[in-house]
Amino acid sequence: MKVGILLAGCGVFDGAEIHEATLTLYFLDKAGVETVIMAPNIKQKDVINHLTGEPMNEERNVLVEAARIARGNIKDINDVKAEDIDALIMPGGYGVAKNFSNFLEKGAEADVIPEVKRLLVDMFKAGKPIGAICISPVIVAAALREAKPTVTIGTDIDVAKAIEDMGARHLACPVNEMVVDEENKIVTTPAYMLGKTIKDVAEGIEKLVNKVIELAKK
Amino acid sequence: MKVGILLAGCGVFDGAEIHEATLTLYFLDKAGVETVIMAPNIKQKDVINHLTGEPMNEERNVLVEAARIARGNIKDINDVKAEDIDALIMPGGYGVAKNFSNFLEKGAEADVIPEVKRLLVDMFKAGKPIGAICISPVIVAAALREAKPTVTIGTDIDVAKAIEDMGARHLACPVNEMVVDEENKIVTTPAYMLGKTIKDVAEGIEKLVNKVIELAKK
């Protein structure tokens, strides 16, 4: 079995959340599953100084930065087809919202960038499971509006409302649990949308990873 | 109990190895231990494009980049004293060798930068344990030459010889194991110096973390 991991860069404030991405890789490897790490070859929306929280006056590329988490072993998402993988997992981080969509500006009306939308739609049509961590369920809900999936981003009222305005159903969920939409094969967990420490986040991600693998076997 | 984590940036080829750093944080949190993440406020030796392996024509700061792994919760190493923490763990990555020392140029004659050497020497003098992962034992051996510690970096013959030329003793060790120098309270594991996948690396790091905690309690 091969599971794709879609990264939005490298760092919680402008890219992929590093702990969520690493723990996803860890639990997949522990389960004996091969991984295909990927990212879109696009410019980051912004570069945030993670020490100060302030924007930096420079440009970085999502694929090049995501390669740091992948130790260089990463593909351009345009080179990955739904038929190449048995499931797809998206770790979170602000970069998911900022680099994969215009969710911060447009809320429920958000569009997903074509590179990411294409793979999500193809995975869904192929009946292959999608796992979405942290803020990523927003992208799944925006890309798969017709499916009206049931997802969680934890307990954030504003983001939950935007998700419901997209036509999806939102369920509140604690950090160490997940929400499973068996029909649509979509699994979600709040991670750092709610979690205070890495141990709590890991608990939810481990459950998500194992559920995605189980759904991929069906 | 508080354990310090010393990072050399963010990314295996020019900074801290991301999986090793994240897994260290995970296993410490799982053990109920508080962490103090730190890095020196210095320029990186270089910036490597992790997709191509080639140098990039830009500058980055070790503390600012390490803050990505720490989610912003990080200190300048100059603001951390040995009395503030009960143990110190150093994840690996090429950045440890390149940003903390001139090991790549000088081998066994390498110097360790004063910011890092000061804390290592103070921890050792205070009888507090040090855990060193991957290439980091080189820095420990170079900073604590008089202690002649017993360490491992796996099975790399050239690096092992340089460590022995520094006066330390090197023991070969598999990726899922560790070497414990009980007298000097120094614990080391090869991680990605030897490991092929994150699961193997995690096994050695979990053992190291738990041994460091045990030694800190003595």
- What are the residue boundaries of the structural domains of chain A, listed by start? 2-217
Contact yes or no for B49 and A69 at CB 8 A: no
Q: Please give, rounded to a whole number of angstroms, the shortest distance from the CA of A88 to a CA of chain B.
A: 19
Compare CB distances from B51 to A26, A30, A64 and report the shortest one's residue: A64
Domain A2-217 has CATH 3.40.50.10860: no
A148 Cα to chain B: minimum distance (Å): 33
Q: Does ipTM come in above 0.90?
A: yes
Angstroms from A145 CA to nearest CA on chain B: 32
Which residue in chain B is spatially nearest to A69 when comparing CA positions?
A: B18
Per-residue pLDDT of chain B (218 residues; tens, 9 = 90+): 999 999 999 999 999 999 999 999 999 999 999 999 999 999 999 999 999 999 999 999 999 999 999 999 999 999 999 999 999 999 999 999 999 999 999 999 999 999 999 999 999 999 999 999 999 999 999 999 999 999 999 999 999 999 999 999 999 999 999 999 999 999 999 999 999 999 999 999 999 999 999 999 98
Q: Report how far residue B95's alpha carbon sits from residue B18's, in angstroms, rounded to the nearest whole number.
A: 11
Q: How many Å apart are CA A43 and CA A30, to the nearest integer?
A: 33
**CA-closest candidate to residue B194, choices B211, B177, B209, B169:** B177
> Do B11 and B95 touch, CB atoms closer than 8 A?
yes
Residues of A catalogued as catalytic: 134
Give the residue numbers in B contacting A (CB under 8 Å), as ranges. Answer: 10-13, 15, 17-19, 22-23, 25-26, 29-30, 49-51, 53, 58, 63-65, 67-72, 74, 192, 197-199, 202
* CA A82 vs CA A32, A85, A172: distances in Å: 20, 6, 30
**Interchain contact, A199 vs B30, CB within 8 Å:** yes
This prediction's pTM: 0.98
